């Protein structure tokens, strides 16, 4: 498996800035774009905590504030192509740019088309929701799973079932501790037990080592030590810090895969007439609390 760009479905904010510095005449002028960051999660409502983020880009020469960048008056609809059913997404005044509709529950295998009309522009995208990903494990998605690092890997495997052997599976691990509270499980040396600052904790643009993930086709997850069942068990090697983590095991659509692997992700997420990503996933989230 190869390590890719950081990816957190529930908390990642797309703050993409398309610009040029006016002091450099060789660079192009700033062109404002409509930016969309949103995912449909199979068999789960598009609730407010999973809201799409719709913003206008800002020049990098100015201060960026997601609340100010959020577009509050967009017309946002999602159409399910087979049935023709349509949902209108709305945002609350106190959360501009975050659009949702609790009645929208995406179904595996269905195609959903997004249309956003804002600031005189029309932006569209479509996604086919991945097939259902069944996960059998002792870990609970509804409570905190506590254990030592060595107890959370191969001793507690996650067995996966999916109808498509070529389906791309994403395993995403994100440490939820603040950098001040984070402590290395394996310090680089005895006196360096904690990150010295947020830069060390986040690891720069890729957010490593705080955030690690990998992708592989479902067929490649067959594990001989588990009778060739398709298995995820290696995530303990990704645990760098003590404390609480979010573990996601997900089947991802083509838009999401391209967004995570392309050289220019903002242009690879399936958005037409704008930038960002409109994707869909199927799977589970787990909370891990790694203790000493």
Domain-located, residue 264: no
- DSSP code, position 181: T
- Are residues 43 and 121 both part of a single domain? yes
- Are residues 166 and 71 both part of a single domain? no
Domain-located, residue 258: no
Helix residue ranges, H only, 159-226: 198-202
pLDDT of residue 26: 54
Domain-located, residue 153: yes
- Residues 142, 145: Cα–Cα separation, whole Å: 9
Average pLDDT over residues 1-18: 40
User: CATH number, domain at 78?
Assistant: 2.60.40
Structure confidence by residue, pLDDT tens digits, 131-177: 999 999 999 999 999 999 889 889 999 999 999 999 999 999 999 99
- Are residues 88 and 187 both part of a single domain? no
- Are residues 9 and 116 both part of a single domain? yes
- Are residues 81 and 150 both part of a single domain? no
Domain-located, residue 9: yes
Domain-located, residue 257: no
pLDDT of residue 175: 96
Structure confidence by residue, pLDDT tens digits, 80-130: 999 999 999 999 999 999 999 999 999 999 999 999 999 999 999 999 999
pLDDT of residue 19: 36
Asked if pLDDT for residue 211 goes beyond 50, the answer is: yes
Whether 235 and 22 have beta carbons less than 8 Å apart is answered as no
Domain end: 105, 129, 153, which one?
129
Reported as a pLDDT band with limits 50, 70 and 90, residue 288 is very high
Domain-located, residue 260: no
- Are residues 20 and 124 both part of a single domain? yes
- Are residues 65 and 155 both part of a single domain? no
- Are residues 94 and 168 both part of a single domain? no
pLDDT of residue 28: 57
Average pLDDT over residues 222-243: 93
The dihedral sign for the CA sequence 254, 271, 275, 98:
negative
- Are residues 77 and 37 both part of a single domain? yes
- Are residues 76 and 140 both part of a single domain? no
Average pLDDT over residues 225-244: 92
pLDDT of residue 236: 83
Token couple for 66: 């997601």
Reported as a pLDDT band with limits 50, 70 and 90, residue 207 is confident
Which pairing describes strands 275-290 and 34-41: parallel, antiparallel, or unpaired?
parallel
Residues with Cβ < 8 Å from 4, sequence gap 6 or more?
213, 214, 215, 260, 261
Domain-located, residue 274: no
Domain-located, residue 37: yes
The total domain count for the chain is: 2
Structure confidence by residue, pLDDT tens digits, 10-69: 433 343 333 334 344 555 566 789 999 999 999 999 999 999 999 998 777 777 677 788
Whether 34 and 273 have beta carbons less than 8 Å apart is answered as yes
Average pLDDT over residues 264-270: 93
Residue bearing the bigger pLDDT, 7 or 156: 156
Domain end: 129, 156, 189, which one?
129
Reported as a pLDDT band with limits 50, 70 and 90, residue 255 is very high
pLDDT of residue 1: 39
pLDDT of residue 102: 98
Q: Of 230, 281, 275, give the one whose Cα is nearest residue 257.
A: 281
Token couple for 249: 């095991």
- Residues 24, 70: Cα–Cα separation, whole Å: 28
Domain of residue 138 covers 134-252+283-290
Domain end: 85, 108, 129, which one?
129
Reported as a pLDDT band with limits 50, 70 and 90, residue 76 is very high
- Are residues 144 and 207 both part of a single domain? yes
């Amino acid at each position: 498996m190869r390590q890719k760009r950081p990816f957190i479905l529930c908390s990642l904010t797309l703050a993409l800035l398309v610009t040029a510095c006016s002091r450099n005449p060789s660079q192009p002028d700033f062109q404002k774009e409509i930016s969309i960051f949103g995912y449909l999660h199979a068999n789960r409502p598009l609730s407010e905590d999973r809201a799409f983020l719709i913003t206008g880009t800002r020049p990098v020469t100015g201060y960026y504030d997601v609340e100010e960048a959020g577009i509050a008056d967009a017309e946002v609809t999602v159409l399910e192509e087979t049935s023709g059913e349509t949902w209108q997404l709305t945002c609350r005044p106190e959360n501009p740019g975050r659009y949702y509709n609790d009645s929208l529950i995406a179904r595996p295998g269905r195609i959903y088309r997004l249309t956003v009309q804002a600031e005189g522009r029309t932006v569209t995208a479509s996604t086919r929701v991945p097939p259902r990903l069944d996960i059998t494990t002792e870990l609970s998605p509804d409570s905190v799973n506590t254990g030592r690092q060595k107890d959370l890997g191969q001793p507690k495997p996650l067995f996966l079932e999916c109808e498509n052997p070529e389906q791309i599976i994403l395993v995403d691990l994100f440490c939820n501790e603040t950098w001040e509270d984070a402590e290395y499980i394996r310090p680089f040396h005895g006196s360096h037990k904690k990150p010295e600052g947020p830069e060390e904790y986040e690891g720069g643009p890729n957010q490593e080592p705080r955030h690690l993930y990998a992708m592989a086709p479902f067929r490649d997850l067959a594990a001989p030590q588990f009778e060739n069942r398709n298995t995820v068990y290696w995530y303990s090697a990704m645990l760098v810090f003590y404390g609480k983590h979010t573990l996601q095991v997900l089947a991802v659509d083509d838009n999401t895969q391209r967004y995570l692997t392309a050289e220019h992700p903002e242009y690879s997420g399936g958005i037409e007439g704008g930038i960002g990503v409109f994707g869909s996933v199927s799977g589970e989230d787990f909370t891990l609390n790694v203790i000493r």
